[in-house]
């Protein structure tokens, strides 16, 4: 189910109660954006984001109706994030970046997903491993409650549109649009 941000986010409280699963794109947006803000750099441009996208995502997450909101990734999402960062930062900058964001990464929860579950999933050939690992968390024995996924791939919305237990949130299409409209009011 795709989020409708014209409604109050408290309508989606049940999806945020256990935390939000976050894909590689929004994870990079949060960590690159925080790094850029502190160091007056512009690594967000490496991933086709701007500082306002970072501000929008931070404002959105900060305003969610949850007592103690947790972000959750899979090892597959972390691997994608790590590989992108290696490519986007020079060696010295990469080391500085990771030194600076280690505490934030340690605060993010992690849920394992079996490679066998990923490989045998109906959507295996349509998505990157990280995105698919988040979708597989919905499978039996992983996570049976309501949850939300913040992502940057519109295919996730289409792949999960009929699942009423998962709320999908696109980092720019939904969050950025919501942020711009909130600035106008």
How many Cα atoms sit within 13 Å of 151 on the Cβ side? 26
Which domains are delineated in the chain? 9-184 (3.40.50.1010)
% of the chain beyond a pLDDT of 70: 94
173 pLDDT more than 90: no
How sure is the predictor about 123, in pLDDT bands with cuts at 50, 70 and 90? confident
Looking at residue 30, its pLDDT comes to: 96
140 pLDDT more than 80: no
């Amino acid at each position: 189910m795709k989020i409708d941000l014209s409604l109050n986010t408290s309508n989606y409280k049940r999806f945020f109660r256990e935390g939000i699963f976050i894909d590689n794109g929004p994870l990079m947006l949060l960590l690159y954006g925080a790094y850029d803000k502190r160091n007056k750099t512009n690594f967000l441009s490496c991933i086709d984001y701007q500082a306002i996208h970072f501000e929008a995502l931070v404002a959105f997450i900060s305003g969610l109706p949850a007592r103690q909101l947790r972000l959750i990734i899979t090892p597959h999402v972390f691997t994608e994030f790590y590989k992108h960062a290696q490519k986007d930062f020079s060696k010295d900058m990469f080391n500085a970046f990771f030194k600076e964001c280690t505490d934030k990464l340690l605060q993010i929860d992690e849920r394992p997903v079996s490679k066998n579950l990923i490989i045998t999933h109906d959507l295996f050939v349509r998505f990157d491993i990280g995105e698919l690992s988040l979708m597989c968390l919905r499978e039996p024995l992983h996570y049976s409650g309501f949850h939300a996924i913040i992502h940057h791939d519109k295919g996730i919305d289409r792949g999960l549109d009929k699942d009423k237990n998962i709320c999908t949130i696109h980092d720019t299409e939904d969050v950025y649009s919501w942020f711009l409209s909130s600035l106008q009011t």
